[in-house]
């Protein structure tokens, strides 16, 4: 009798102990750590850009060498994201996030202490490795932690606001740090936040169930080299030209490697990227759109920054604050979208957001050497910030819906690969358009020539957004009002 009573009372406790935790003990603090990690790795892609003149003066970089301070981070980050996402599925997402942030933090410290160009570029490459290990596991932790659709949508909304707004925040922070301190501060600022994440993550973030498997090394090598080769080919095209043998060779190598990756994954027992994630029409269209949107967004950030400083004569600090309306609107839109999507569906946002982005870019095609900030740049930033804030969250939700928990790392790693590769590719392609437009002065003043190049590049960016919108309409076909 007593044994039955004990067994009856003990069974629920045993079931509760055996049942995996759905949410961490303090989900708010866990989410704050995950978002801080994402902001660090995204912000670092642009925070250095405003510090580049100071870096060149201090470390005596050549003009060509200076571009690698920015490009090496994007190259390594984009090339290793797929591997980082799949490794998290197998080895543990919290463990990989903590290790990636630790490496990123150490590399930031060494970069701030660099005394020559080689050391700084090596530190930036190491930052890219750490970011590629940590970043795909941030989104995967959100997907596996928040099972309830409404909570997950809100968490993805915050994550997307960090991803979309981080680039603009990086410019603001870069302007502040370089104006009041030095370029080294943009590297040192990562250290205290990185240490806090490393110390607190094991206590606040629940480690999801791991899925032991063999890491697909063949897929990892071909994906990393192929993605890196493609990004480098576009970077090379912007500097050496599209017809240069080195550019054509990089493109050929990248195509062969990526084709080899697809063939390898089709036969692999435990693929790095399960190809059925791409056979779904909606998800495949979403990934393509996620490649195209950052391509125009990062290009817009890059060229408007140059226009404000080179044509309007803004200081780095003033340039950073000029992006404040854009950053605020991205955060507001990303906060509101998760609350509105359950009511209205994703269709109005995935149609309306890109239209706002397209309109903002078309306005920028009209700028000249005499265009002011309030009348010419600010309206575009308002449209662009609103469009980006209301587009990225519904698109992320569309891509990740229906993904099995054991594949959330691969799915989120692919999503972030599209974002980072799109940003790098878009900037490189638009640089090529800008170079072609400014090759023949035709009697223009330097400011007028520069403005003409920016206007032409923004026209190309508008074309990219138009292709993204067409993909959404024809392939993704987002849902209207949910049942």
51 secondary structure, DSSP code: G
pLDDT of 479 higher than 60: yes
Q: Phi then psi for 115, rounded to 5 degrees?
A: -115, -5
What's the length of the chain? 483
Long-range (24+ apart) CB contacts under 8 A made by 207-211 are 207/92, 207/93, 207/94, 207/95, 208/20, 208/92, 208/93, 208/94, 208/140, 208/141, 208/144, 208/145, 208/405, 209/20, 209/405, 210/89, 210/90, 210/91, 210/92, 211/89, 211/90, 211/406
73 vs 121: CA distance, rounded Å:
9
Q: What's the rounded mean pLDDT across residues 49-65? A: 74
On whether the CB atoms of residues 391 and 122 are closer than 8 A, the answer is: no
Lowest mean pLDDT among 4-8, 24-28, 223-227: 4-8
Note the pLDDT of residue 7: 42
pLDDT at residue 3 in the model: 43
Is the pLDDT at 39 greater than 70, yes or no?
yes
Longest dimension (CA), the chain: 101
CB 55 within 8 A of CB 321: no
Q: What are the φ and ψ backbone dihedral angles of 61, each rounded to 5 degrees?
A: -75, 145
Q: Which residue has the higher pLDDT, 75 or 291?
A: 291
Which pLDDT band holds residue 13 (cuts at 50, 70, 90)?
A: very low
pLDDT recorded at residue 460: 92
State yes or no: pLDDT of 95 exceeds 50.
yes
Cβ(361)–Cβ(187) under 8 Å? no
Percent of the chain with pLDDT over 70: 86
For residue range 325-374, list pLDDT tens digits in order: 888 888 888 778 877 887 888 888 889 999 999 999 999 999 888 888 88
pLDDT band at 237 (very low <50, low <70, confident <90, very high): confident
Is 125:76 a contact under the CB 8 Å cutoff?
A: yes
Residue 4, judged by CB atoms within 10 A of its CB (0-12, 13-18, 19+), counts as: exposed
Are the CB atoms for 108 and 123 separated by under 8 Å? yes
Written as six digits, the tokens of 437 are 């437009």
What does the block give as tokens for 10? 């003990």
pLDDT score recorded for residue 406: 64
Could you give the domains of the chain?
24-205+272-476 (1.20.1250.20)
Tell me: the pLDDT tens digits for 256-303?
998 998 888 888 777 777 777 788 888 888 889 988 988 888 788 878
Residue 26: the pLDDT is 67
370-to-320, 325, 374, 459 alpha-carbon distances in Å: 21, 22, 12, 19
Chain-wide mean pLDDT for the chain?
A: 79
Distances (CA, A) of 206 to 24, 82, 90: 5, 22, 16
Model's pTM, two decimal places?
0.74
Number of DSSP helices (H) and strands (E) in the chain, helices first: 19, 0
Q: What's the rounded Cα separation, in Å, for the pair 419 and 401?
A: 18
Q: Comparing 284 with 393, which gets the higher pLDDT?
A: 284
- Tell me if residue 60 falls in helix, strand or coil: coil
Contact by Cβ (8 Å): 265, 117: no
The confidence score (pLDDT) of residue 400 equals: 78
Q: Which residue did the predictor score with more confidence, 16 or 317?
A: 317
Q: Among 101-105, 229-233, 293-297, 461-465, which stretch is predicted with the lowest mean pLDDT?
A: 229-233
Q: How far apart are CA 333 and CA 342, in angstroms?
A: 15
* Alpha helices for 241-315 (secondary structure H): 245-267, 276-279, 281-310
Tell me: the pLDDT tens digits for 426-462?
A: 877 887 788 788 877 767 788 888 888 889 999 999 9
The phi and psi torsions of 162 (rounded to 5 degrees) equal -65, -40
Q: How far is CA 5 from CA 1, 2, 11, 186, 226, in A?
A: 6, 5, 10, 63, 63
**Residue 380 confidence (pLDDT):** 92
CA angle at residue 389 from 387 to 391, to 5 degrees?
65
Segment 21-44 mean pLDDT: 72
CA distance 54 to 186: 11
Question: Taking residues 398-426, what's their average pLDDT?
Answer: 74
CB-based contact 45:167 (threshold 8 Å)? yes
Is the predicted pLDDT of residue 250 greater than 70, yes or no? yes
């Amino acid at each position: 009798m007593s044994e039955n009573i004990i067994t009856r009372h003990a069974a629920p406790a045993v079931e509760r102990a055996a049942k995996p935790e759905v949410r961490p003990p303090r989900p708010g603090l866990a989410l704050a750590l995950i978002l801080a990690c994402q902001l660090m790795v995204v912000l670092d892609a642009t925070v250095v850009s405003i510090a580049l003149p100071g870096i060149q003066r201090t470390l005596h970089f050549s003009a060509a060498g200076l571009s690698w301070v920015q490009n090496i981070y994007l190259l390594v980050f984009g090339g290793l994201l797929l591997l980082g996402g799949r490794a998290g599925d197998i080895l543990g997402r919290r463990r990989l996030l903590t290790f990636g942030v630790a490496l990123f933090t150490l590399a930031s410290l060494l970069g701030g202490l660099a005394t020559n160009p080689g050391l700084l570029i090596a530190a930036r490459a190491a930052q890219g490795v750490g970011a590629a290990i940590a970043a795909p596991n941030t989104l995967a932790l959100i997907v596996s932690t928040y099972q309830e659709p409404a909570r997950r949508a809100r968490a993805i909304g915050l994550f997307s606001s960090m991803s979309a707004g981080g680039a603009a925040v990086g410019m603001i922070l870069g302007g502040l740090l370089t104006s009041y301190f030095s370029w080294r501060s943009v590297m040192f600022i990562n250290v205290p936040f990185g240490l806090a994440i490393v110390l607190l993550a094991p206590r606040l973030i629940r480690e999801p169930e791991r899925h032991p498997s063999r890491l697909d090394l063949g897929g990892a090598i071909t994906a990393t080299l192929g993605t890196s080769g493609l990004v480098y080919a576009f970077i090379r095209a912007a500097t050496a030209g599209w017809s240069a043998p080195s550019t054509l060779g990089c493109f050929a190598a990248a195509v062969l490697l990526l084709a080899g990756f697809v063939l390898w994954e089709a036969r692999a027992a435990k693929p790095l990227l399960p190809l059925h994630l791409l056979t779904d029409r909606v998800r495949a269209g979403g990934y393509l759109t996620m490649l195209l949107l950052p391509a125009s967004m990062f290009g817009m950030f890059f060229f408007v920054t140059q226009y404000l400083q080179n044509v309007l004569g803004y200081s780095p600090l003033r340039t950073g604050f000029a992006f404040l309306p854009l950053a605020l609107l991205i955060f507001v839109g990303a906060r509101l979208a998760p609350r509105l999507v359950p009511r209205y569906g994703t269709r109005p946002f995935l149609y309306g957001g890109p239209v706002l982005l397209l309109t903002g870019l078309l306005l920028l095609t009209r700028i000249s050497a005499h265009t002011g900030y309030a009348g010419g740049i600010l309206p575009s930033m308002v449209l662009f910030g609103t469009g980006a804030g209301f587009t990225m969250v519904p698109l992320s939700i569309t891509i990740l819906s229906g993904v099995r928990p054991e594949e959330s790392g691969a799915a989120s790693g692919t999503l972030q690969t599209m974002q980072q590769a799109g940003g790098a590719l878009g900037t490189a392609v638009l640089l090529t358009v800008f170079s072609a437009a400014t090759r023949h002065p035709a009697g223009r003043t330097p400011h007028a020539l520069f403005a003409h190049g920016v206007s032409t590049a923004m026209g190309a960016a508008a074309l990219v957004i138009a292709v993204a919108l067409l993909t959404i309409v024809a392939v993704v076909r987002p849902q209207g009002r949910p049942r």
